[in-house]
Amino acid sequence: MSYPVHRMRRLRRTESIRRMVRETSLSPSNLIYPMFVVSGKGIREEIKSLPGNYHVSPDMIVREISEIRKLGISAVLLFGIPEKKDSLATQAYSDDGVVQRAVQEIKEADTGVVVITDVCLCEYTDHGHCGIVKNGQLLNDESLELISRVALSHARAGADMVAPAAMLDGQIKAIRIILDQNGFPDTAIMAYSVKYASILYDMFFKEGVKTVLKFGDKSTHQMDFSNSDEAMREIMLDIEEGADIIMVKPALFYLDIVYRAKNEFKMPLAVYNVSGEFAMVKSMAREGYADETSLCREIFVSLRRAGADLIITYHAKEMARELLKFQQG
Protein backbone atom coordinates (compact mmCIF):
# COMPACT_ATOMS: atom_id res chain seq x y z
CA MET A 1 0.00 0.00 0.00
CA SER A 2 1.11 3.56 -0.59
CA TYR A 3 -0.12 7.07 0.19
CA PRO A 4 -2.06 7.97 2.31
CA VAL A 5 -1.44 4.86 4.44
CA HIS A 6 2.32 5.29 4.09
CA ARG A 7 3.57 8.81 4.73
CA MET A 8 7.36 8.98 4.65
CA ARG A 9 7.32 12.40 6.28
CA ARG A 10 6.00 10.99 9.57
CA LEU A 11 9.52 9.98 10.52
CA ARG A 12 11.00 13.34 9.53
CA ARG A 13 8.65 15.49 11.60
CA THR A 14 11.06 16.42 14.43
CA GLU A 15 14.80 16.26 15.02
CA SER A 16 14.28 13.73 17.83
CA ILE A 17 12.40 11.39 15.49
CA ARG A 18 14.97 11.87 12.75
CA ARG A 19 17.72 10.86 15.18
CA MET A 20 15.82 7.72 16.14
CA VAL A 21 15.71 6.39 12.57
CA ARG A 22 19.02 7.75 11.29
CA GLU A 23 20.78 5.01 9.30
CA THR A 24 24.34 6.33 9.24
CA SER A 25 26.22 7.61 12.27
CA LEU A 26 29.22 9.90 12.53
CA SER A 27 31.26 10.40 15.70
CA PRO A 28 34.71 11.73 16.64
CA SER A 29 35.92 8.13 16.94
CA ASN A 30 35.53 7.79 13.15
CA LEU A 31 38.09 10.56 12.59
CA ILE A 32 41.87 10.41 12.23
CA TYR A 33 43.86 13.63 12.45
CA PRO A 34 46.97 14.04 10.23
CA MET A 35 49.89 15.79 11.91
CA PHE A 36 53.12 17.19 10.47
CA VAL A 37 56.26 16.79 12.57
CA VAL A 38 59.31 18.98 11.91
CA SER A 39 62.82 19.17 13.31
CA GLY A 40 63.61 21.62 16.08
CA LYS A 41 62.12 22.65 19.43
CA GLY A 42 59.21 24.81 20.49
CA ILE A 43 57.73 24.87 16.98
CA ARG A 44 54.00 25.17 16.31
CA GLU A 45 53.46 26.99 13.03
CA GLU A 46 50.17 27.04 11.15
CA ILE A 47 50.32 25.71 7.59
CA LYS A 48 49.09 28.51 5.35
CA SER A 49 47.20 26.32 2.88
CA LEU A 50 45.79 24.08 5.63
CA PRO A 51 44.43 26.53 8.24
CA GLY A 52 43.92 24.90 11.62
CA ASN A 53 46.76 22.46 10.93
CA TYR A 54 50.34 22.92 12.07
CA HIS A 55 53.97 22.02 11.68
CA VAL A 56 54.89 20.80 15.17
CA SER A 57 58.23 19.80 16.66
CA PRO A 58 58.42 16.53 18.63
CA ASP A 59 58.65 18.31 22.00
CA MET A 60 55.34 20.11 21.32
CA ILE A 61 53.33 17.20 20.04
CA VAL A 62 51.94 15.93 23.35
CA ARG A 63 50.13 19.26 23.86
CA GLU A 64 48.40 18.76 20.52
CA ILE A 65 47.58 15.14 21.34
CA SER A 66 45.97 16.15 24.64
CA GLU A 67 43.44 18.30 22.78
CA ILE A 68 42.77 15.52 20.29
CA ARG A 69 42.10 13.02 23.04
CA LYS A 70 39.64 15.36 24.78
CA LEU A 71 37.73 15.67 21.51
CA GLY A 72 37.33 11.90 21.25
CA ILE A 73 39.33 11.54 18.03
CA SER A 74 40.49 7.95 17.68
CA ALA A 75 43.96 8.33 16.18
CA VAL A 76 46.61 10.53 14.64
CA LEU A 77 48.56 9.95 11.43
CA LEU A 78 52.10 11.33 11.63
CA PHE A 79 54.07 12.72 8.69
CA GLY A 80 57.69 13.78 9.03
CA ILE A 81 59.57 16.69 7.46
CA PRO A 82 63.29 16.10 8.00
CA GLU A 83 65.99 18.70 8.39
CA LYS A 84 68.00 17.15 5.55
CA LYS A 85 66.98 15.16 2.48
CA ASP A 86 69.07 12.83 0.33
CA SER A 87 68.69 10.29 -2.46
CA LEU A 88 68.29 7.34 -0.08
CA ALA A 89 65.93 9.03 2.40
CA THR A 90 68.23 8.17 5.30
CA GLN A 91 66.33 10.37 7.78
CA ALA A 92 63.19 8.31 7.18
CA TYR A 93 64.55 5.25 8.98
CA SER A 94 66.86 6.95 11.46
CA ASP A 95 66.17 6.02 15.08
CA ASP A 96 66.47 9.74 15.81
CA GLY A 97 64.14 10.83 12.99
CA VAL A 98 61.41 13.37 13.62
CA VAL A 99 58.56 10.85 13.45
CA GLN A 100 60.40 8.36 15.63
CA ARG A 101 60.99 11.02 18.30
CA ALA A 102 57.39 12.20 18.10
CA VAL A 103 56.09 8.65 18.57
CA GLN A 104 58.31 8.21 21.62
CA GLU A 105 57.04 11.47 23.13
CA ILE A 106 53.41 10.43 22.63
CA LYS A 107 53.93 6.96 24.04
CA GLU A 108 55.88 8.17 27.07
CA ALA A 109 52.99 10.52 27.87
CA ASP A 110 50.56 7.56 27.77
CA THR A 111 47.95 9.57 25.87
CA GLY A 112 45.78 6.61 24.87
CA VAL A 113 45.55 7.90 21.28
CA VAL A 114 46.31 5.37 18.53
CA VAL A 115 49.53 6.38 16.78
CA ILE A 116 49.69 5.67 13.05
CA THR A 117 52.79 6.60 11.07
CA ASP A 118 53.00 7.34 7.37
CA VAL A 119 55.58 5.07 5.74
CA CYS A 120 56.82 6.65 2.55
CA LEU A 121 60.12 8.05 1.32
CA CYS A 122 59.02 11.03 -0.77
CA GLU A 123 59.14 13.48 2.15
CA TYR A 124 62.74 12.42 2.81
CA THR A 125 64.26 12.16 -0.70
CA ASP A 126 65.95 15.07 -2.42
CA HIS A 127 64.20 14.17 -5.70
CA GLY A 128 60.71 13.90 -4.18
CA HIS A 129 59.93 10.39 -5.40
CA CYS A 130 58.83 7.45 -3.23
CA GLY A 131 61.93 5.30 -3.43
CA ILE A 132 65.28 4.74 -5.09
CA VAL A 133 65.61 6.42 -8.48
CA LYS A 134 68.03 5.34 -11.20
CA ASN A 135 68.24 6.82 -14.69
CA GLY A 136 65.02 8.68 -14.10
CA GLN A 137 63.09 5.56 -13.08
CA LEU A 138 61.65 4.65 -9.68
CA LEU A 139 62.97 1.19 -8.79
CA ASN A 140 60.30 -0.94 -7.18
CA ASP A 141 62.04 -3.96 -5.61
CA GLU A 142 65.15 -2.06 -4.55
CA SER A 143 62.96 0.49 -2.74
CA LEU A 144 61.12 -2.14 -0.70
CA GLU A 145 64.10 -2.65 1.60
CA LEU A 146 64.16 1.03 2.53
CA ILE A 147 60.38 1.20 3.02
CA SER A 148 60.42 -1.85 5.29
CA ARG A 149 63.27 -0.30 7.30
CA VAL A 150 61.14 2.81 7.85
CA ALA A 151 58.25 0.70 9.12
CA LEU A 152 60.51 -1.22 11.49
CA SER A 153 62.00 1.99 12.90
CA HIS A 154 58.49 3.32 13.57
CA ALA A 155 57.46 0.09 15.29
CA ARG A 156 60.57 0.21 17.48
CA ALA A 157 59.66 3.77 18.46
CA GLY A 158 56.24 2.54 19.60
CA ALA A 159 53.86 3.09 16.68
CA ASP A 160 50.60 1.16 16.96
CA MET A 161 50.13 1.04 13.22
CA VAL A 162 52.16 1.82 10.10
CA ALA A 163 50.64 3.17 6.90
CA PRO A 164 52.69 2.48 3.74
CA ALA A 165 51.78 5.07 1.11
CA ALA A 166 54.11 4.55 -1.86
CA MET A 167 51.86 2.19 -3.86
CA LEU A 168 54.86 0.02 -4.71
CA ASP A 169 54.21 -3.61 -5.57
CA GLY A 170 54.94 -5.93 -2.65
CA GLN A 171 55.36 -3.24 0.01
CA ILE A 172 52.79 -4.73 2.40
CA LYS A 173 54.42 -8.16 2.27
CA ALA A 174 57.89 -6.70 2.79
CA ILE A 175 56.71 -4.73 5.83
CA ARG A 176 54.76 -7.62 7.35
CA ILE A 177 57.78 -9.90 7.06
CA ILE A 178 60.25 -7.47 8.66
CA LEU A 179 57.86 -6.59 11.49
CA ASP A 180 57.18 -10.25 12.29
CA GLN A 181 60.84 -11.22 12.10
CA ASN A 182 61.80 -8.47 14.56
CA GLY A 183 59.21 -9.15 17.23
CA PHE A 184 56.38 -6.82 16.14
CA PRO A 185 53.63 -9.22 15.03
CA ASP A 186 50.99 -7.03 16.67
CA THR A 187 51.92 -3.83 14.85
CA ALA A 188 49.06 -3.30 12.40
CA ILE A 189 49.30 -2.16 8.79
CA MET A 190 46.94 0.41 7.29
CA ALA A 191 47.56 0.09 3.57
CA TYR A 192 47.14 2.96 1.14
CA SER A 193 45.68 0.25 -1.08
CA VAL A 194 44.00 2.53 -3.61
CA LYS A 195 45.90 5.77 -4.03
CA TYR A 196 45.07 7.60 -7.21
CA ALA A 197 47.47 9.93 -9.03
CA SER A 198 45.52 13.05 -8.14
CA ILE A 199 46.10 16.77 -8.46
CA LEU A 200 44.22 17.12 -5.17
CA TYR A 201 47.45 16.38 -3.24
CA ASP A 202 49.34 19.44 -4.43
CA MET A 203 48.97 21.60 -1.29
CA PHE A 204 49.91 18.66 0.93
CA PHE A 205 53.21 18.26 -0.90
CA LYS A 206 54.06 21.91 -1.41
CA GLU A 207 53.30 23.16 2.10
CA GLY A 208 52.40 20.17 4.28
CA VAL A 209 55.50 18.03 3.80
CA LYS A 210 57.49 20.54 1.71
CA THR A 211 58.23 18.10 -1.10
CA VAL A 212 58.98 19.09 -4.69
CA LEU A 213 59.36 16.59 -7.52
CA LYS A 214 62.61 17.23 -9.36
CA PHE A 215 61.27 15.47 -12.47
CA GLY A 216 58.27 13.59 -13.79
CA ASP A 217 55.20 12.62 -11.80
CA LYS A 218 53.91 9.63 -9.80
CA SER A 219 51.69 8.06 -12.42
CA THR A 220 53.93 5.00 -12.76
CA HIS A 221 52.97 3.79 -9.28
CA GLN A 222 49.86 5.70 -8.19
CA MET A 223 46.66 4.64 -9.92
CA ASP A 224 45.01 6.06 -13.03
CA PHE A 225 41.80 7.74 -11.83
CA SER A 226 39.93 6.21 -14.77
CA ASN A 227 40.21 2.71 -13.28
CA SER A 228 37.91 0.90 -10.87
CA ASP A 229 38.49 -2.84 -11.37
CA GLU A 230 42.23 -2.29 -10.96
CA ALA A 231 41.51 -0.77 -7.55
CA MET A 232 39.84 -3.98 -6.43
CA ARG A 233 42.88 -6.00 -7.54
CA GLU A 234 45.16 -3.66 -5.58
CA ILE A 235 43.05 -4.18 -2.46
CA MET A 236 42.96 -7.94 -2.90
CA LEU A 237 46.74 -8.10 -3.15
CA ASP A 238 47.26 -5.92 -0.07
CA ILE A 239 44.91 -8.11 1.96
CA GLU A 240 46.74 -11.24 0.80
CA GLU A 241 50.06 -9.64 1.80
CA GLY A 242 48.87 -8.83 5.33
CA ALA A 243 47.02 -5.49 5.41
CA ASP A 244 44.79 -5.03 8.47
CA ILE A 245 43.02 -1.88 7.23
CA ILE A 246 42.61 -0.80 3.61
CA MET A 247 42.37 2.77 2.37
CA VAL A 248 41.00 4.73 -0.57
CA LYS A 249 42.62 8.09 -1.36
CA PRO A 250 41.30 10.68 -2.25
CA ALA A 251 37.88 10.29 -0.67
CA LEU A 252 35.10 12.48 -2.01
CA PHE A 253 35.67 11.97 -5.75
CA TYR A 254 35.89 8.20 -5.30
CA LEU A 255 32.72 7.17 -3.46
CA ASP A 256 32.09 4.45 -6.05
CA ILE A 257 35.45 2.90 -5.14
CA VAL A 258 34.72 3.18 -1.42
CA TYR A 259 31.36 1.46 -1.90
CA ARG A 260 32.84 -1.34 -3.99
CA ALA A 261 35.75 -1.87 -1.60
CA LYS A 262 33.49 -2.23 1.44
CA ASN A 263 31.02 -4.52 -0.27
CA GLU A 264 33.56 -6.77 -1.97
CA PHE A 265 36.05 -7.18 0.88
CA LYS A 266 34.23 -6.48 4.18
CA MET A 267 37.47 -5.13 5.63
CA PRO A 268 38.01 -2.17 7.98
CA LEU A 269 38.14 0.70 5.50
CA ALA A 270 39.71 4.15 5.79
CA VAL A 271 39.43 7.08 3.41
CA TYR A 272 41.70 10.10 3.15
CA ASN A 273 39.87 13.41 2.77
CA VAL A 274 42.83 15.13 1.12
CA SER A 275 44.14 18.69 1.03
CA GLY A 276 42.39 19.65 -2.21
CA GLU A 277 39.04 18.54 -0.81
CA PHE A 278 39.76 20.46 2.38
CA ALA A 279 40.54 23.59 0.34
CA MET A 280 37.28 23.37 -1.61
CA VAL A 281 35.29 23.42 1.61
CA LYS A 282 37.34 26.30 3.02
CA SER A 283 36.88 28.27 -0.19
CA MET A 284 33.09 27.83 -0.23
CA ALA A 285 32.89 28.85 3.42
CA ARG A 286 35.17 31.85 2.92
CA GLU A 287 33.08 33.11 0.00
CA GLY A 288 29.89 32.68 1.99
CA TYR A 289 28.45 29.97 -0.25
CA ALA A 290 28.05 27.35 2.49
CA ASP A 291 28.31 26.86 6.23
CA GLU A 292 31.57 25.02 6.75
CA THR A 293 30.41 22.77 9.58
CA SER A 294 27.22 21.73 7.79
CA LEU A 295 29.15 21.03 4.59
CA CYS A 296 31.75 18.93 6.39
CA ARG A 297 29.11 16.93 8.18
CA GLU A 298 27.33 16.18 4.90
CA ILE A 299 30.60 15.14 3.25
CA PHE A 300 31.69 12.89 6.11
CA VAL A 301 28.30 11.22 6.43
CA SER A 302 28.43 10.53 2.68
CA LEU A 303 31.80 8.83 3.18
CA ARG A 304 30.42 6.77 6.06
CA ARG A 305 27.30 5.92 4.04
CA ALA A 306 29.48 4.68 1.17
CA GLY A 307 31.28 2.32 3.56
CA ALA A 308 34.15 4.17 5.23
CA ASP A 309 34.83 3.20 8.84
CA LEU A 310 37.58 5.79 9.34
CA ILE A 311 38.07 9.25 7.85
CA ILE A 312 41.50 10.86 7.75
CA THR A 313 40.84 14.59 7.56
CA TYR A 314 42.38 18.00 8.25
CA HIS A 315 38.93 19.00 9.51
CA ALA A 316 39.09 16.41 12.31
CA LYS A 317 39.35 18.78 15.27
CA GLU A 318 36.75 21.22 13.98
CA MET A 319 34.34 18.43 13.13
CA ALA A 320 34.86 16.63 16.44
CA ARG A 321 33.96 19.78 18.38
CA GLU A 322 30.75 20.18 16.43
CA LEU A 323 29.82 16.51 16.73
CA LEU A 324 30.23 16.65 20.49
CA LYS A 325 27.93 19.69 20.63
CA PHE A 326 25.43 17.93 18.37
CA GLN A 327 25.46 14.77 20.48
CA GLN A 328 24.99 16.76 23.68
CA GLY A 329 22.21 18.87 22.17
CA–CA separation, 105 and 83 (whole Å): 19
Query: Which of 125-134, 162-171, 217-226 is modeled with the greatest confidence?
Result: 162-171
CA–CA separation, 170 and 144 (whole Å): 8
Within a domain: 295: yes
Q: Is the pLDDT of residue 226 over 90?
A: yes
The CA-CA-CA angle for residues 315, 317, 322, to 5°, reads 95
Q: Is the pLDDT of residue 202 over 90?
A: no
Within a domain: 251: yes
pLDDT per residue over 25-76, tens digit each? 999 999 999 999 999 999 999 998 899 999 999 999 999 999 999 999 989 9
Q: Is the pLDDT of residue 7 over 90?
A: yes
Q: Tell how many helices (H) and how many strands (E) occur in the chain.
A: 11, 12
Residue 271's domain comprises: 25-328
Query: CB within 8 A of 50, min separation 6: which ones?
Result: 203, 204, 207, 208, 275, 278, 314
CA–CA separation, 117 and 165 (whole Å): 10
pLDDT per residue over 248-273, tens digit each? 999 999 999 999 999 999 999 999 99
User: What is the secondary structure of 7-72 as a DSSP string?
Assistant: -GGGGGSSHHHHHHT------GGGEEEEEEEESSSS-EEE-TTSTT-EEE-GGGHHHHHHHHHHTT
Tally of domains in the chain: 1
For the segment 236-243, the average pLDDT, to the nearest whole number, is 98
Within a domain: 14: no
Residue 205 is predicted with a pLDDT of 60
pLDDT per residue over 81-103, tens digit each? 998 999 899 999 999 999 999 99
Total residue length of the chain = 329
Within a domain: 199: yes
Q: Is the pLDDT of residue 284 over 80?
A: yes
Within a domain: 304: yes
pLDDT per residue over 98-155, tens digit each? 999 999 999 999 999 999 999 999 999 988 888 899 998 999 999 999 999 999 999 9
Within a domain: 10: no
Residues forming the active site = 195, 249
φ/ψ of residue 2, rounded to 5: -125, -155
Residue 204 is predicted with a pLDDT of 72
Q: Please give the C-alpha separations between residue 75 and each of 35, 69, 258, 279, 310, in angstroms, as whole numbers.
A: 10, 9, 21, 22, 10
Residue 34: is the preceding peptide bond cis (ω within 30°)? no
Contacts of the segment 104-108: beta carbons below 8 A, 24+ positions apart: 104/58, 104/157, 104/158, 105/58, 105/59, 105/61, 105/62, 106/61, 106/62, 106/65, 106/76, 106/158, 107/157, 107/158
Per-residue pLDDT band at 329 (split at 50, 70, 90): low
φ/ψ of residue 114, rounded to 5: -70, 130
pLDDT per residue over 310-326, tens digit each? 999 999 999 999 998 87
Q: Is the pLDDT of residue 294 over 80?
A: yes
Per-residue pLDDT band at 80 (split at 50, 70, 90): very high
Residue 329, number of CB atoms within 10 A of its CB: 6
Q: Is the pLDDT of residue 327 over 80?
A: no
Question: Out of 17-26, 123-132, 281-290, which region has the weakest mean confidence (pLDDT)?
Answer: 123-132
Strand partners, 8: none
Domain with 157 in it: what CATH number? 3.20.20.70
User: What is the secondary structure of 110-128 as a DSSP string?
Assistant: T---EEEEEE-STTTBSS-
